[in-house]
Amino acid sequence: EQAGAESFFMFGLTAPQVAETRKTYDPNAIISADPEIRRMMELLESGHFNLNEPGIFDVITSGLRSPQDQWLTIADLRSYIDEQRRVNDVYQDQDAWNRMSILNSANSGWFSSDRTISQYAQEIWDVKPLK
């Protein structure tokens, strides 16, 4: 919000969506319903990328398929893929890319460590600065 939506690429679930999704999260249903994600998983699980080390990605793919995946990776994946395509499109327009880059940098001051520490001191730790 502070950086301005026009200066960065956002993907994934919102905090309220995360809470709701966790209740019934079924990554296998998402994989089955999305042909592109399904194909990606099939390629990873087929050994296509690991001919010399079969099974090397099994721990990754089983984690992605697990309803206990605490990061809800598969739930965010479609949004990530779509936003990455938008990144690629914007990058083709160098004026738009440069504008976004400049706006992002210009709006990043709010994220300074000084402000963050001061805010934590006041709101979380309830300490007063020395003068």
DSSP assignment of 8-60: S---S--HHHHHHHHHH--HHHHHHH-HHHHHHHHHHHHTTT-TTSTTTTHHH
Residue 2 has pLDDT above 70, yes or no: no
Kindly report whether the global pTM for this prediction surpasses the value 0.85: no
CB atoms within 10 A of CB 55: 10
For residue 49, what pLDDT is reported? 92
- Residue 71's pLDDT band, with cuts at 50, 70 and 90, is very high
Task: Give the domain ranges of the chain.
Answer: 11-123
Mean pLDDT of 80-84: 97
Task: Give the percent of the chain with pLDDT over 90.
Answer: 66
Residue 72 has pLDDT above 90, yes or no: yes
